[in-house]
Structure 1
Amino acid sequence: MTTLKTERLTLRPLRPDDAETYAAMRFHPDVARWLLPATGDPVDAARAAIERYARSWRERGYGPWAIFRGDRLIGQAGLNFVPEFGETEVLWSLHPDERGQGFATEAGRAALDFGFRTLGLKLIFAVTRPDNHASQAVMARLGLAYRKDVVYREVPSVWFETDSVRWRG
């Protein structure tokens, strides 16, 4: 499993001992409203997600990372294979206290670079709800372009994407 460092952040795979801190970020109401719904105890759901991400790292060589600013977990970002679409998405979410400082763009850029340069992926997409204008602005800053409307796990969404040729250009 790969750990990346950017100018201000450390991106490392989530570990089981991150479950409580990850749950506090992931299930914060201002974060959860933009993500796919999850049921049950937040810490149990966080543990299950961490195990899914670890399985992705083992099977594919990539997955979501925890975003650390210093020693504080402030969000998640990374790459996630979506079987429904047969493609890999770039994703991010940040604790509300950390938004507006460019961290999503910084982490997203590192994830895209890892996907295209290290893994050799040809296309990476991102989806969000149509009214999530903040995430769409990050997508645009990262060079992803709107392509279509989709339904992702019963949630109407907008699809942005870029490919390796545009990324390297």
Structure 2
Amino acid sequence: MIPTLRTARLLLEPYVPEDEEGFVALFQDTRVSQWMGDGPASEADDRALFGRIFTKVYARELFDVWAVRRDGVLIGHAEIKPTDVVGGHEIVYALIPTAWGNGLGTELAEKLVAYGFDTLGLPEVHATVAARNHASLALLGRIGFEHVRDIEEDDGTVTQVLTCCRAATQGRAKAVA
């Protein structure tokens, strides 16, 4: 069962069928989808992806996926999942563009990392980010992720693999205290 998580301003909870339109709108916005997976997809593909959250991910308890809400409104998507690309668990997050620039992405990413460490007991958490996604790279760098390696994609673009180690974040917390 997917737990509900809270931050100071966000609520992460399992999707419900009524979230489909908000989910599709998020993934159809090319300002968001250009950074997700293989990039923009058709509306039909995004609707199918939303359906698979229920029929595959939730039904088989494969990994944790959340609707991200602020003041009761769906504003984003979050997940933490095992992936062979990094040989561990990867965080994935997206927010609607009107939610950008006020620290919500940082709040969301920090919550996903803390969940990975504290609830899942992971020694490290990874992220894969397009090398051109400077905002996400900067955000992850601020919260303790370090560049590990590059992956050259079939289309010639570069994806950076970033890792945040539990031991490193604990050391930073002690240094700040």
TM-score by length of 2: 0.84
> Residue deviations 1:8-57, cap 9 Å, x none?
0101122332122111112211111111233461323322245444256x
Aligned length: 166
**Could you tell me how far apart the structure 1 residues matched to 2:93 and 2:153 are?**
16
**Could you tell me how far apart the structure 2 residues matched to 1:78 and 1:167 are?**
20
Give the stretch that moved more between structures: 133-142 or 37-46: 37-46
What's the Cα RMSD here?
2.1
Superposed, which structure 2 residues align to 1:1-169 within 5 Å?
1-37=2-38, 38-39=41-42, 41=44, 42-55=46-59, 58-59=61-62, 62-151=63-152, 156-169=158-171
The unaligned stretches of length 5 or more in structure 2 are 172-177
Q: Which amino acid aligns with 2:5?
A: L
Q: Which amino acid aligns with 1:67?
A: V
Give the stretch that moved more between structures: 117-126 or 78-87: 78-87
**Could you tell me how far apart the structure 2 residues matched to 1:6 and 1:152 are?**
34
Which secondary structure state, in structure 2, belongs to the residue aligned with residue 14 of structure 1? coil
Q: Which amino acid aligns with 2:103?
A: G
Q: Which amino acid aligns with 1:83?
A: D
> Residue deviations 1:66-118, cap 9 Å, x none?
11001111011231211343311112111111110111110111111111011
**Could you tell me how far apart the structure 2 residues matched to 1:157 and 1:81 are?**
17
What percent identity do the matched residue pairs reach? Answer: 27
Change (3 A) 1:7 1:17: same
Larger relative CO (CA 8 A, sep 6+): 1 or 2?
1
Check conservation: 2:152, 2:158, Cα contact below 8 A. yes
Check conservation: 1:78, 1:108, Cα contact below 8 A. no
Return the offset for 1:147: 1.1
TM-score by length of 1: 0.87
The unaligned stretches of length 5 or more in structure 1 are none
**Could you tell me how far apart the structure 2 residues matched to 1:152 and 1:16 are?**
34
Change (3 A) 1:7 1:137: same
**Could you tell me how far apart the structure 2 residues matched to 1:135 and 1:87 are?**
20
Q: Which amino acid aligns with 1:43?
A: R
**Could you tell me how far apart the structure 2 residues matched to 1:122 and 1:2 are?**
20
**Could you tell me how far apart the structure 1 residues matched to 2:144 and 2:55 are?**
31
